Chain A
Amino acid sequence: MILLHINGKTHIVDVSPDIPLLWVLREHLGLLGAKYGCGIAQCGACTVHIDGKARRSCRTPVGDALGKEITTIEGIPDDHPVKMAWIDDDVPQCGYCQPGQIMAATALLKEKPEPTDEDIDIAMAGNLCRCGTYQRIRRSIHRASKMMAEGVKS
């Protein structure tokens, strides 16, 4: 039995501690926002926050998340500046990578509320988008940063 704190709720799952968190989220808890893209921490589609930091859930044994605060895309409020900016800029194409992109972007903005283009390059380089939405992602991160500075709540 493993106790998990996800999006402010507590879940108990009966899985072996070495199973990647991604599959526990998706197959045991029905939290389908985090996606599988590579399984080896190369694409970022599975990104979630663990204690506020962006982490690849495909490479995080669920046992390591024990007692930590996990946030998934479902736990980011709809009125979060990043989600609102993403809608304003119509960022997604196929959409598959977007939950991971949004989780990486929210973690970045928490750490650096006014990121430079270089900060964005570094923080987002682990998140692939085969549809090539990078330019809109960059624009949207800057937009979200502005919204946050102007006091849109997050």
Chain B
Amino acid sequence: MNMIINISRREFIKTGSLIGGGLILGVIPGFNGASGQSSQNFAPNAFIRVGTDDIVTVIVNKSEMGQGVYTSLPMVVADEMEADWSKIRIEPAPVDPAYNHTIWGIQGTGGSTSTWTTWDQLRRAGATARVMLVKAAAGIWGVSPIACRAENGFVFHDETKRQFSYGSLVEKAAQLSPPQDVPLKEPKDYKLIGKPVKRLDTPSKVKGSAVFGIDVKVPGMLTAVVARTPVFGGRVKSISDEKARAMQGVKFIERIPSGIAVIADNFWSAVSGRNALDIKWDEGPLAGFSSMKQRKQYAALSKKTGAVARKDGDPGAALAKAVKKLKAEYEVPYLAHATMEPMNAVVDLREDGCDIWTGTQFQSADRNSAAEILGLKPEQVNLHTTFLGGGFGRRANPYSDFVSEAAHVAKAVRKPVKVMWTREDDTRGGYFRPMWYDRIEAGLDGNGNPTAWRHRIVGQSIIKGTPFEKALIEDGIDETSVEGAKNIPYDIPNVLVELHSPEYPIPVLWWRSVGHSHTAFVVESFMDELAHAAGRDPLEFRRELLNKDPRRRALLELVAQKAGWRDPLPEGRGRGIAIHKSFGSYVAQVAEVSVNKKDGLRVHKVVCAVDCGKIVNPSIIEAQMESGVVFGLSAALFGEITFKKGRVEQGNFNDYKLVRMNHMPLIEVHIMPSEEKHGGIGEPGVPPVAPAVANAVFALTGNRVRRLPIRV
């Protein structure tokens, strides 16, 4: 509880993410240690705190970036706990090993893993609280716990018609030690899980009171922007800052590892000060670099043998024998995440410690990096996770770039400081989805069945040089470069997948759906090419090659049926289909497009079917599918980061375009009922969009799209 006391002592009033029924917490939530147990609370584990006022606070260790974890994870806890949903409140978890990702061993959110990696943990946490509350009540009544039952925030003894609310059992329950083994509910008894429960964070987001990193203010805080190298790998050669120093509101100008920080009273002064800097840059190895050049280098590399990611049979021999051969090259560009809220972080550095507020997906890495820079012990740094104005992987940075940089600025000025990125900084600042170049060929036999498949991938590794290298790179193959390509689901006897991972000093990172964001486009577009070459319907062609994968086949059938695949289309429309599995979930989509001189390419409708196994909240699944479709569509239609003279050519939404309301297709989402293990939901909606649309363009125009964004 020290955190709350400290903050209020310093008159820091900031609303904690206000969550649920309009209640403002009034302080940034946080507490020392993992349990937060006190005489006012019953905290059986790191995830639950019951107050004497019956409020059940669920401490959520996943970052809320739109994907709904501040609702879906508490649903799991509350259901097992038999809590009253209207009494549930949320607190973002502090940094503590108790909140580590159950697989990664660090605290973080990503990879569409939040539901399935916490499912057992949170159910058990909820059930433990329930069992202890029941035991507390039974103890007071002097009856057997078996004679009692918990429901909706109360424990009942039906025989004597007595009841206790959870809040009134706090003191007694807090004295019990948690049981080792707890019974979990049968799915048929779920009250929340599987239902379209309304999001707890909606009211604050509609009011405008939800607190993002950019909204945090601490007393005496200054605001900084940083002039970073215009060419990756460049350095400051010389700087003249007299003009900037003389400007109103500008307080400090400091050299930090990433560039020159201008620290001012407010954002506008900081930006104006930065504009007045005269910096000469040593542009480094990428001076003169261009995307044109890089494409040529990649194309040349794609002709050479790469590291083998998968080899089945003898694809060379099979190709030689094939009756029909197809060859193609596919290309996709660098992409920026373009979260709606640009990067930012607030660092309040004091003699004895430091508080950081930021919207991050990588709490422990960020805290540890900041501690190291500031010369503090990790436990002296309190990192507070705010709402994230979008994440998409950008805020899970193994180098903690935006937090480390803010720590450097705070260290230089020894004052509370907010470091903000302008949209241009954010667009040009890197950590892009890598550019990819794919060379692919296949052979068909006399019946039009594919007998050989050779796929060579060229692109930077996002994992090399990060702490994830050991886990994700094996024999020179970065798993995330080949995911979705290495494991193509189709029944093809001879398969070769190779990889080149050229090194460039352009910072790259996971971008919503990671490797799948390009492999699905290549694989599902080329499958379409094969289907047409074989003279077969693209749906039937895929179905026949999926005999060993009934789950995928069934989903294809569902999307085809919902989209009316076999029905005639209106004049001037084309339809395309794609299916892709990623992060444990299968998503199939059918896109309907038109192309004409006046409007160019228009996507009218996307029918999306998803099989993500068991479900927690169908409304959130539907929202994430819609979200994925729009995200994928922005990349398919517009997304492109290019370089000229070493500089990123795009800067803001006028030249890094995103889908807008007037581009929107109608999106239909169908969820396949399933009892399989949970899959992810934040990312899998993205990969199939581009190939579904590209295949539709082909069906309509006969023009094959082999490069994104689509140019018609």
A interface list, Cβ under 8 A from B: 19-20, 23, 26-28, 30, 32-40, 42-43, 45, 72-74, 78, 83, 86-87, 90-99, 102, 120-122, 124-138
Min CB gap A42→B, angstroms: 4
Inside 8 A of A39's CB, which chain B residues have their CB? Answer: 422-423, 652
**CB contact list, B322-379 vs A, under 8 A:** 338-342
Decide if B422 touches A32 in the complex (CB within 8 Å): no
Residues of B within 8 A of A33 (CB): 207-209
In the assembled complex, the Cα of A94 lies from the Cα of B388 at a distance in Å of 6
A-B contact pairs, 22 of them (CB 8 A): A27-B266, A28-B266, A32-B208, A32-B211, A32-B215, A35-B214, A35-B341, A38-B423, A40-B423, A45-B340, A87-B202, A92-B206, A94-B339, A94-B340, A96-B340, A98-B206, A102-B206, A129-B340, A129-B630, A130-B339, A131-B340, A133-B626
Known: A38-B423, A125-B661, A129-B340. A90 touches B623 (CB 8 A): yes
Distance to closest chain A CB from B389 (angstroms)? 3
B662 within 8 Å of A (CB atoms):
yes
Q: Which residues of A contact B626 (CB under 8 A)?
A: 132-133, 135-136
Task: Return B417 CB to nearest CB of chain A, in Å.
Answer: 14
A76 to B619, CA, bound (A): 26
A127-B661 contact, Cβ under 8 Å, with A87-B202, A96-B389: yes
Nearest CB on B from A123, distance (A): 8
Closest to A96 in B: B389
List the 9 shortest-distance A-B pairs measured between CB atoms, nearest first.
A132-B630, A33-B208, A96-B389, A95-B205, A93-B66, A94-B66, A73-B208, A42-B653, A92-B205
In angstroms, Cα B658 to Cα A38, docked, is 13
Q: B390 contacts A130, CB within 8 Å? A: yes
Do B212 and A72 touch across chains, with their CB atoms under 8 A apart? no
Q: A72-B208, A83-B206, A92-B201 are in contact. Are A43 and B653 (CB under 8 A)?
A: yes
- B205 is contacted by which of A42, A98, A132 (Cβ under 8 Å)? A98
Q: For residue B661, which residue of chain A has the nearest CB? A: A124
Report yes or no: B659 in contact with A90, Cβ–Cβ below 8 A.
Answer: no
Q: Per-residue 0/1 for B619-643: is the Cβ within 8 Å of any A Cβ (1 yes, 0 no)? A: 1000100111111000000000000
**B390 near A121 (CB under 8 angstroms)?**
no
Q: What mask results when residues 268 to 302 of chain B are scored 1 for a CB within 8 Å of chain A, else 0?
A: 10000000000000000000000000000000000
In the bound complex, residues from chain B placing their C-beta under 8 Å from that of A126 are 660
1/0 contact string of B391-422 vs chain A (CB within 8 Å): 11000000000000000000000000000001
> How many A-B residue pairs lie within 8 Å, measured between CB atoms?
171
Question: B358 CB to closest chain A CB, in angstroms?
Answer: 14
Q: A38-B652, A45-B340, A90-B198 are in contact. Are A130 and B658 (CB under 8 A)?
A: yes
A90 engages B661 (CB within 8 Å): no
Complex Cα distance A100/B205, Å?
11
Does B309 lie at the interface of the complex (its beta carbon under 8 Å from any beta carbon of A)? Answer: no
B-chain residues with CB within 8 Å of residue A94 when the two chains form the complex: 64-66, 339-341, 387-391
User: With A32-B215, A121-B662 known to touch, is A40 a contact of B652 (CB < 8 Å)?
Assistant: yes
Whether B464 sits at the interface, judged by CB under 8 Å, is no
Least CB distance from A89 to B in Å reads: 9
Residues of B within 8 A of A133 (CB): 623, 626-627
Asked whether B654 lies within 8 Å of A120 as measured between CB atoms, the reply is no
B310 at interface by CB-CB < 8 Å:
no
User: B651-667: which residues lie under 8 A (CB-CB) from chain A?
Assistant: 652-654, 658-662, 664, 666-667
Complex Cα distance A33/B658, Å? 23
B693 to chain A, nearest CB (A): 15
Contact between B268 and A19 (Cβ–Cβ < 8 Å)? Answer: yes
- Residue of A74, A97, A121, A124 near B340 (CB, 8 A) is A97
How far, in angstroms, from A137 to B661 measured CA to CA in the complex?
A: 9
- Report A84 CB to chain B, min CB distance, Å: 9
Hey, which chain A residues are within 8 Å of B201, CB to CB? 92, 95
* Chain B residues positioned under 8 Å from A125 (CB to CB): 660-662
